[in-house]
Structure 1
Amino acid sequence: MPNAYQGNSLYSFDPMMGQLEVIEPGIAMFHGYANSAFAYGRGEMLAVDTSSRTMGAMAVARIREVTAEPFAFLIYSHGLGDHAFGTEAFIRDAIARGFARPKIWAHEDVAGRFDLFRMTRGWHSHVNRMQFGNASAADEIFGDDTFSYPDLTYRGTQFLDLAGEPVELHHAMAETDDATWVWMPARRLAMVGDLIVSAMPNTGNPNKAQRYTLEWAQALERIAHRKPQYVLPGHGPAYQGEQMCEELLTETARALRYVHDEVVQRLNAGQWPIDIVEANIALPDDLADKPFLKPVYGCVPFIVRDVIRRYAGWWSGEPSQMLPAPRREHCEDLIALCGRDAILARARSLMEAGELRRALSLAEVALNADKEDAEPRALNAEILEAIVSSERSFIARNFFAAAAKQLRNHAM
């Protein structure tokens, strides 16, 4: 398996989806919607993440093909559904084999995240259907409001004993504020969850909670300082070799720091958020060329907006957007000035010239002025579908595709 994730989606295109990757005797990783990492070989086993509701059972079945050791610990790398909702299958396995129920460890804030998911279940189901491009993936993550809460929690650092072998749990803030990376010093093994996703990190998801770009970089630097021989990520392949692991960790951290610092520097210079967004900040070429930093999941524009959101609030800096006029009224004014047909003609001309973002902005004016007007509905859908064909970010691509589908369905 190559050490650079080659798919263009972290979900549908993993060539090892549903398989167990045995890195060496005693270290393995199941490839699911999210990976489950396993350490075993001394009479007891631990798992970092249990994958999603339906794939948890598959993860258990695959690891049982190589070891019959009992699960001593199940450790959540964070509280997101694709990582922490497959736990019941692990517990059922223990009961069926006559083993003690495994202890579930997590950072102390994971329970609060589960509570939040229960409160906002409808919203997360809606957003995930769009983000993942299909209802089944979303429903298996947020299909119900039952969760396997942690039995034991920690705050900063926790030390465990796995059949006489030391295990360390370390808190991090990254994609979530409840993240844990697991270090097994005797094996030089780091199991890091979504601190590494084998692509540009997903900080700045358009419709999810705040992410933590700077702290994410700091956590990666702390892991790199340990000089791991193995890094098992939340998505993508296992990474092996001290040099490969160091490059993966330090260069991902450097990319995050670069975007973070660019935004902060511009904020401190008095630039408004809208000006920073429109500056089109990009990674230096030496970082952009890294196979594990391709913008196939997260992307630099998302990170820029997330850093702004954290430090500078929600206002773009455009005076009209502080207390904005309703979109419909604003667009009706533009239609009155320019004419509906002229706006649609210009939008179509821009689309044909490949200026898809500009085309979409104009086409939306006509759509927002009259949601029942079939022609702008169809043109917006056509432009969105053209954007989908070239968009690299899995998240952005699926949101654009979902918007086009909604417009097409409305026309039926």
Structure 2
Amino acid sequence: MAHDALFERLWSGAARMEEWTAAVSKGAITQVAENIITVHTTYFCGSVTAIRTDAGLVLIDTAKPDTAAQTLDVVRSWDDSPVHTVIYTHGHIDHTSGITLIDEEADARGRPRPRIVAHRNVRRRMERYEASHGFNSLVQGQQFNKPDYVYPIGQRQPDEVYDDSLSLTIGGEEITLFHGRGETDDASFVWLPKRRVLASGDFVIWVFPNAGNPRKVQRYAADWAVALRRMEELEPEILIPGHGPVIFGKERAAQVLRDGAEALEYLTSETLRLINQGATLDDVLHAVKVPPRYLAKPYLLPKYDDPEFLVRAIYHFYAGWFDGDPAHLKPARTADLAAELARLAGGADKLAERAATLSGEGQTRLAAQLAEFAGAAAPEDARIQGIRAAVLQTCIDGETTLMGKAFFAVYQRDADEKSKA
């Protein structure tokens, strides 16, 4: 009953997701339907859904490295049957990493390892993670301030793959997988037709769609909307998001799917409208904004990804990497440009001081640009680096999204360290 009350407060916007995360932090079960549960440990770990069948358990996703053991323990408190099949909704580590523990448990008990089913591109994703392992480790370590972080690779790949859709019958349970592109190009959502239960994977995540991450490969806002519309047509009565609490009720499920689709459709159509008029990326970024009625929804809050980042990704998808500024076609080195601007301004310290003034006036975008130029022109000047750090801290303080704060923080830490050297 307490969790029901908390959900209603989340739905109304009276509670924050941090409160829900605290409530489930010891491992919590949501009874989805007869013989179906969803396990939660934290918002930042993907939901894991367990389906009890005559052939054994079917798991939708497996948790991330630091919550996999806790998640499996919670599943085992509910049912100790063999895990027959695991479905990856996509290849991100917070959905696939638990397979190692599941396999180890099967080996220890003398049981067959479960079959893994996923979209064909999951294999390609895992191969790409190995090819770009150094980059992924560096970026994740920077973003979350974890020096020497090593990105987990080597998760077991799918045994069975599909392209557009796949219908399975496992121990009397009918399960259909549908493919869509959204945060990833390998995503699946899972439909239990007899139950009217939909597991959306990360197409629904209780925040604004994560389709614009600055340091990740191309994401697909328009296709994300198509997938949400496809889910809406199924008319689910229960919606299990990839992250966050389960949504019960046909009307609420439809509302969440519809609102997400509409917001993404708006961003895509407005960006395309300007692209088709010959607008530059600069024009588009400062013109296309999500209507406030969507951002006011408790399940579309821009708390992780920034809608502006999505606009940039949409532009890139349709118009390529060139932003329409001829100076960026074959750009000068940033250090050379910074040094020239510093000479024109009368010194790098003048750029830094102007950046500090602009920052104090709330013009953080312009302030950050000048501070970065000043820092690049005088990388060993501790005073200038200190001003740069202060300007970037103001940018962090003004950000509402976790992603925006995290990326500014990477460079704020760099400037702060140089100011003390």
Aligned partner of 1:205: which letter?
N
Q: Partner amino acid for 2:210?
A: N
2:51 maps to 40
1:300 aligns with 2:307: yes
Matched, 1:28 2:40: no
1:78 CA drift (Å): 0.6
Mapped partners of 2:157, 2:304: distance in 1 = 28
**Gap change, CA 1:14 and 1:399, over 3 Å in 2:** farther
| 1:265 Cα deviation from its structure 2 partner | 0.6
Provide the residue aligned with 1:82 in structure 2: 94
Aligned to 1:401: 409
- Pairwise mapping of residues 136-285 of structure 1 onto structure 2 (< 5 A)? 139=150, 142-143=151-152, 145-279=153-287, 281-285=288-292
- Please give the alpha-carbon distance, in whole angstroms, between the structure 1 residues aligned to 2:106 and 2:249: 33
**SS at structure 2 position matched to 1:40:** strand
Q: Offset at 1:93?
A: 2.5
Moved more, 401-410 or 186-195: 401-410
Correspondence for 1:95 = 107
> Could you tell me which of 62, 69, 72 is aligned with 1:50?
62
The answer to which of 350-359 and 157-166 deviates more is 350-359
Distance 1:381 1:8 in 2: 30
* Alpha-carbon contact 1:57-1:90 (below 8 Å) kept: no
Higher mean alpha-carbon deviation, 397-406 vs 38-47, is at 38-47
> Matches of 1:277 and 1:284 in 2, distance apart?
15
C-alpha distance 71-180 of structure 1, shift in aligned 2 (>3 A): same
> What are structure 2's unaligned runs of at least 5 residues?
none
How much has 1:389 moved relative to structure 2? 2.1
Report which structure shows greater RCO (CA 8 Å, sep ≥6): 1
After superposition, the Cα gap between the structure-2 partners of 1:21 and 1:132, relative to the gap in structure 1 and judged at 3 Å, is farther
1:174-214 Cα shifts (integer Å, max 9, x gaps) = 11111111100111111111111110011011010000111
In 2, Cα distance between equivalents of 1:342 and 1:409: 21
Distance 1:314 1:76, change over 3 A: same
Partners of 2:83 and 2:276 lie apart in 1 by: 50
Residue 117, structure 1, aligned to residue 129, structure 2: yes
Aligned counterparts of 2:22 and 2:210: Cα–Cα separation in 1: 17
Matched, 1:107 2:119: yes
1:387 is aligned to 2:398: no
Tell me, in whole angstroms, the C-alpha distance in 1 between the residues paired with 2:147 and 2:342: 37
Superposition deviation, residue 69 in structure 1? 2.5
Q: 1:330 aligns with which of 327, 337, 353?
A: 337
Long gaps (5+) in structure 1: none
- Please state whether the residue corresponding to 1:385 is helix, strand or coil: helix
Range that drifts further, 52-61 or 299-308: 52-61
SS at match of 2:90: coil
Aligned sequence identity (%) = 31
Alignment partner, residue 351 of structure 1: 359
**Distance in 1, Cα, partners of 2:118 & 2:252:** 28
Q: Which residue of 2 aligns with 1:68?
A: 80
Query: How many residue pairs align between the two structures?
Result: 406
Q: Distance in 2 between matches of 1:405 and 1:342?
A: 22
Counterpart code for 1:287: Y
In structure 2, what residue type is equivalent to 1:131?
A: Q
SS in structure 2 at match of 1:82: helix
Q: The residue matched to 1:166 in structure 2 has which SS?
A: strand
Letter in 1 for 2:314: V
Task: Measure how far apart 1:8 and its partner are.
Answer: 6.6
Distance in 1 between the 2:189 and 2:146 partners?
A: 30
Partner residue, 1:131: 143
Tell me, in whole angstroms, the C-alpha distance in 1 between the residues paired with 2:388 and 2:198.
Answer: 46
Partner Cα separation in structure 2 for residue 103 and residue 167 of structure 1: 15
